[in-house]
A and B are shown apart, each in its own frame.
Chain A
């Protein structure tokens, strides 16, 4: 077990308990030897990552709160769009998904990352996996490609023009299950695509997306004021 695994395991245990944990409870929850826990707690306390409060209970300390603030700051997009996802899922009943194209750093998007999602209301619904996936033909990828820099070298599929004109992309997946998804862009202050919001569900429920799903999605996206 790496040093990283041990120290993060302790923070994870504390994150799961809002009343704080005693050393004995952490030992049980983390499944690590008592002596290991003892020195890790002492290290973490020295680093102000945890603090010792009432009734000998440990809870996250100032350095942990600073880490949270850092993550929230970099995830300002996540925070701003969380309510949008929830609104979209509530009004459409389908899963809504937030993706960003990370590799913008070296020019053009090559990978998209699913960074957040909100659950729909149906018993059968898509449960996305958070994390990277290659830029492909799915609706979110189409959005990134369509609204990306028009000067981008290489061939551009004709239907990306349609995506740009209409403001949203659609994809029908038939390989595994019949899944239909539509996606629309969220622009930053400079007019670049900051993220894509996708609504996805079984094709049987996603027949007339233009008149059912798209109005709900576009209404929710219009409420995003400042990303």
Chain B
């Protein structure tokens, strides 16, 4: 693990913590040695990226400034943010946007949940920024597999959950290409429907999904495909 990775792991842990952690909690969350962690926190404090109040480590003004500036970079992002808000509002469920990271050596890239708007219902699917779910059988993962035409036989073990039958998977991926959406059911009590966002060249750049508890989503396609379809069609990718 290199220096950059350690620093950014600490920054991510601080940003995603529900309450400001103390150093020992941060060490546990990041898996770093307490002394390494203390050095990084002290560097971040000096840079204004964190603030330490009563031994608790808070996200600092420099981190807020960095992320605010970055979020203003992309008009696509604000457009998608509005789409997620609409989807969550109209479906009553959680809407979420996933993209795939770079691929260093031609192997399967990582999938990231990068933005989401949660349902307002008390029982809901929780959005966790930076989550890296497995490709199979998550609905956005299926969308990427289908549109990137990655055959089931090429999927590494870490990318899928069992049971996994390559023949059936390839058939479902073909259906997804034909239908324009993917559905996942009964993943730890959660069901979802996802559709691709394509750029001008027809390349998939993101997947947008609606996810909720099984009880409220007995038939994700019948319930939400028209809504998801019209939302995706209104997004203008430049």
Contact = CB atoms under 8 A, between A and B. Distances in A.
A40 B8 CA distance: 12
Most buried by A among B43, B66, B99, B115: B66
Nearest to B70: A15
Given A48-B101, A61-B102, A62-B114, A3 B64 contact: no
B182 interface: no
B20 A105 contact: yes
A105 B54 contact: yes
Contacts of B4: 3, 6-7, 40, 43-44, 47
Given A66-B130, A69-B115, A75 B53 contact: no
B99 A65 contact: yes
A84 B30 CA distance: 36
A102 B101 contact: no
Contact of A66 (B5, B54, B73, B114): B114
Nearest to B61: A130
A70 interface: yes
B20 A102 contact: yes
B100 A62 contact: yes
A71 B3 contact: no
Interface centre among A12, A40, A70 (most CB of B within 10 A): A70
Interface in A1-60: 2-8, 11-12, 14-16, 18, 40, 43-49, 51-52, 59-60
Chain A interface, >50% SS class: helix
B69 interface: yes
B67 A67 contact: yes
Given A48-B101, A63-B112, A4 B15 contact: no
Most buried by B among A12, A62, A105: A62
Contacts of B51: 113, 131-132
Contact of A69 (B47, B63, B116): B116
Interface in B105-121: 110, 112-116
A4 B8 CA distance: 8
A31 B51 CA distance: 26
B44 A4 contact: yes
Interface of A: 2-8, 11-12, 14-16, 18, 40, 43-49, 51-52, 59-75, 78, 102-103, 105-106, 110-111, 113, 115, 130-132
6 closest Cβ pairs, A-B complex: A66-B130, A3-B3, A48-B101, A69-B129, A65-B114, A15-B69
20 contacts: A4-B43, A4-B47, A7-B7, A8-B11, A8-B47, A43-B2, A43-B3, A47-B8, A48-B102, A62-B100, A65-B99, A66-B12, A67-B15, A67-B130, A68-B71, A69-B115, A73-B127, A102-B53, A105-B20, A105-B56
